[in-house]
Structure 1
Amino acid sequence: MAFLRAYRFPLILLAAIALGSVIGFVLGPKSAVLKPLGDIFLNLMFVIVVPLVFVTISSSIANMSSLKRLGKIVGWMLLIFVVTGVVSSLLMLGAVKMFNPAEGVNIALEEPEEQAEITLGEQLVQTVTAPDFRDLLSKERMLALILMAALFGIAVSQAGEKGEMVARGLSALSEVLIKLVGIILWYAPIGLGAYFAALVGEFGPQLVGSYARAVAVYYPVALLYFIVFFTLYAFLAGGGKGVRRFWSVIPSPAVTALATGSSVATIPANLTAAAKLGIKKDVRDVVIPLGATIHMDGSCISAILKISFLFGLFNIPFEGIDTYLTAILIAVLSGVVMSGVTGGGFIGEMLIVTMYGFPVEALPILAVIGTLVDPPATMVNASGDTVASMLISRFTEGKEWMKNALKENA
């Protein structure tokens, strides 16, 4: 009974997803009729995520005792994001050396659609700023929103006594929004079950086609990284207790990401999970939203898969230290740097094609692979933000951070 009480909501979610998958398998494309139920859940999450991100980040920074602590959190965060990106890339590199994802595959190359050219400077401006306040209030401008929230929090902090009232108001509003997230999540079993039914019904046939081998390589590796390496990270962060507590809270964000295919839509569930883990508010409110835009271990794994797939498709040996180092560099750039840029997925694919000299006709092939591996990739991407927050807590609070959090909440 104690187990059922502790894991009741995750078990309900998993049961709903299993039921949705069976319905999608049985009904096939007809299961698309259930997609609106999933869209309702996704829209609710996207509506709440913009005010939630702005309020939580600005509140955390405004209530920090010192901006030096913000620098410490961000420094450890960037280091951990890069290290985990390299680790995930190395794991897939070993997998594709054992199992060539393009073996026996014969895919006709097609001309890609014309893409509007944009300079690096223009891309940077679009990524970190918005031309109007109303444009800032959009999930499409998440990095710009995060930057403005951070600047607003710093301004409140520097306003002294006059800013204290604003800081308290932000803190209170943050708590209210978290409660609202909890209310929305009660609809999650219906929404996620419907989404899985539509996903299985739509993409099921493609999983057994020309890309089946690539999918068969990616899914087990992503699951291995999710289970084994996240357990390792949780152990490094909090020992055995850290592992147990991590796996007690991660199912909800994981299945939300798996079904919706959106790290941004998973931010509310991740913030709730991080709070249950005892991660301090200033850590989770900075790391989780930023991680949703620039921390993509699952994308690092898929980048290595895409590179090795093209090598096999064009009968080029995928070997040599230079080739491997370049692949890891591209994977980390795609998963940690370019993921925060508008259209970062396409830019990462362009980087693969241009750096290795593949023809541009290879771009649609990479796009198809990206679509097929997107659900587990997003699950790894989003769930990695929570375990990264645990590691950051370990290095900023000390090895007793979890025990201290339990005492504070007692």
Structure 2
Amino acid sequence: MKLRKDIFDSYKFPLVLILSIILGSFLGITMKDKAKIFKPLGDIFINGMFTLVVPLVFTTISSSISSMGNMKRLKSILFSLFSVFIGTGLIASIIIICVVKIFPPGSGAKLIFNTTATIKPFDAGSQIVSALTVTDFYHLLEKKNMLPLILFSIFFGFAINLIGEKGEIITKGLNALSEAFLKMIGIFMFYAPIGLGAYFANLVGVFGKDLLGAYGKAMGIYYPLCFLYFIILFPIYGYIAGGKKGVFSLKNLLAPALTSLATQSSMATLPVNLKAAENIGVPEDIRNIVLPIGASAHMDGTCLSSILKISFLFGIFNIPFEGTTTYLTAILLSIMGGVVMSGIPGGGLIGEMLIVNIYGFPPEAFPIIATIGYLVDPPATMINATGDTVAAMLVARIVEGKNWCQYKKEKNANKKKNFIISSVE
């Protein structure tokens, strides 16, 4: 009974949002052009989110970097950890690019806004410069300059970290501001069912049923892909980590997979993951470092969904998703979303804003891909959470060598032997 309540509580808000979108879409289909009367209510939601995201980005990133401790003695584990995180994220990104090229998720729904004339693929050197930098400080406060703001926030956080004790008061202030802005977003999200419902009533009323069909197509691509990733890629990683024993030990992923699907939270799955890693034989120091960090900074499922969102927007705005630079940019954004942004409160929101801004999509595109984020969350969380344990196995292989499974078994046998001897004595 308690488990059912926990599952309901975990899914309650996403269900409310989905129901509000369904209701708004129904109103749009029924009222058609008359549904434009709901547009102001949707615009309030969009404007509110854009207003809050800029200070949220600055305070959360700066406070996270400035409060980092000294991890020099963990150099080997951390280097292996982030190498694995980025490597698996890269593989996930390449897989989803291949899939969306074969099955374009946004095809069949063409949206035309007044601002779409400015949209073009991210393929020019000047765009790279403008994407990374601004000409003056105050431009950092503009929502279109999200990436320069992120880079500035990281730099600012490191500077605070380097000045030591003098910077502690700034770190505390940034932490407090970060919590305040997160609270503001939490409060504002109570308006989300109305705002998103109104937004989709107008959107479907103007653009018709094609948009809903595009969402269905995107989900039809993403859900099977996640489960195929789980049953094909994870065994490959398991074999790389520990041979046949590594593959066989993946039976321990069942409990984390079910927990993550039920809770939609990598953090909530962490205790189950720790137990699974222990059962697999991952050394204690490795699992105690990799899994907590992985719960907030290892997101293969997010890498998959990020490129799904990008290709979806390209499709519905009738822009070809092609070109080496476009693919490389999509991969970079997906890895940033899966490895960097996921470790920051509100990182999913920031990643979606970054996608809209970096490619020059109009602000109306933001709630469109934000909705995909809610729809794909259960399987994405499953890949994210269970992938942490697989990552810990790969890190153990790098740090301990190919016989880490056997080493752990012998270590446990020696502990048991020593316990028996001491009991006899």
TM exceeds 0.5? yes
| SS of equivalent to 1:233 | helix
Change (3 A) 1:37 1:300: closer
Give 1:225's aligned amino acid: Y
Aligned partner of 1:232 among 229, 236, 240? 236
Change (3 A) 1:401 1:135: farther
Q: Which residue of 2 aligns with 1:287?
A: 290
Aligned partner of 1:401 among 399, 404, 407? 404
Q: Which residue of 1 aligns with 2:226?
A: 222
The 8 Å contact of residues 72 and 396 in structure 1, kept in 2 or not, is answered as yes
- Distance in structure 1 (CA, Å) of the matches to 2:355 and 2:10: 35
Superposed CA deviations along residues 168-224 of structure 1, whole A, max 9, x for unmatched, are xxxxxxxxxxxxxxxxxxxxxxxxxxxxxxxxxxxxxxx985411000111122112
- Distance in structure 2 (CA, Å) of the matches to 1:225 and 1:231: 9
Length-normalised TM-score, structure 2: 0.60
Give 2:97's aligned amino acid: L
User: In the comparison of the two structures, how many residue pairs are matched?
Assistant: 285
Give 1:334's aligned amino acid: G
- Distance in structure 2 (CA, Å) of the matches to 1:135 and 1:272: 35
Q: Shift in Å at residue 134 of structure 1?
A: 10
- Distance in structure 1 (CA, Å) of the matches to 2:214 and 2:74: 48
Q: Which residue of 2 aligns with 1:355?
A: 358
Matched, 1:38 2:38: no
1:4-43 → structure 2 map (5 Å cutoff): 36-38=5-7
Q: Which residue of 1 aligns with 2:247?
A: 243
Radius of gyration: which is bigger?
2
Q: Shift in Å at residue 105 of structure 1?
A: 2.8
Q: Shift in Å at residue 132 of structure 1?
A: 10
1:80-95 → structure 2 map (5 Å cutoff): 80-95=84-99
- Distance in structure 1 (CA, Å) of the matches to 2:317 and 2:110: 10
Change (3 A) 1:110 1:211: farther
The 8 Å contact of residues 263 and 382 in structure 1, kept in 2 or not, is answered as yes
The 8 Å contact of residues 110 and 318 in structure 2, kept in 1 or not, is answered as no
Q: Shift in Å at residue 354 of structure 1?
A: 1.1
The 8 Å contact of residues 110 and 361 in structure 1, kept in 2 or not, is answered as no
Matched, 1:253 2:253: no
Give 1:233's aligned amino acid: Y
- Distance in structure 2 (CA, Å) of the matches to 1:209 and 1:319: 23
Q: Shift in Å at residue 357 of structure 1?
A: 0.8
Give 1:263's aligned amino acid: S
The 8 Å contact of residues 278 and 284 in structure 2, kept in 1 or not, is answered as yes
1:47-58 → structure 2 map (5 Å cutoff): none
Structure 1, unmatched stretches of 5+, are: 1-15, 17-32, 43-66, 142-206
Q: Shift in Å at residue 38 of structure 1?
A: 2.7
Q: Which residue of 2 aligns with 1:311?
A: 314
The 8 Å contact of residues 256 and 273 in structure 2, kept in 1 or not, is answered as yes
Q: Shift in Å at residue 36 of structure 1?
A: 2.9
Length-normalised TM-score, structure 1: 0.62
Aligned partner of 2:83 among 74, 79, 84? 79
- Distance in structure 1 (CA, Å) of the matches to 2:410 and 2:260: 31
Give 2:347's aligned amino acid: G
Give 2:102's aligned amino acid: M
Aligned partner of 1:384 among 387, 409, 418? 387
Q: Which residue of 1 aligns with 2:340?
A: 337
- Distance in structure 2 (CA, Å) of the matches to 1:215 and 1:110: 28
Structure 2, unmatched stretches of 5+, are: 12-70, 116-140, 162-170, 184-210, 414-425
| SS of equivalent to 1:250 | helix
The runs of at least 4 consecutive aligned structure 1 residues that moved more than 2 Å come to 33-42, 105-111, 115-125, 128-137, 207-210
Q: Shift in Å at residue 102 of structure 1?
A: 1.0
Give 2:236's aligned amino acid: L
| SS of equivalent to 2:364 | helix
- Distance in structure 2 (CA, Å) of the matches to 1:306 and 1:312: 10
Q: Structure 1 vs Structure 2: percent identity of aligned residues? A: 48
Aligned partner of 1:296 among 295, 299, 305? 299
Give 2:247's aligned amino acid: V
Aligned Cα root-mean-square deviation (Å): 3.5
The 8 Å contact of residues 105 and 214 in structure 2, kept in 1 or not, is answered as no
| SS of equivalent to 1:265 | helix
- Distance in structure 2 (CA, Å) of the matches to 1:220 and 1:130: 44
Give 2:308's aligned amino acid: L
1:125-144 → structure 2 map (5 Å cutoff): 131=173
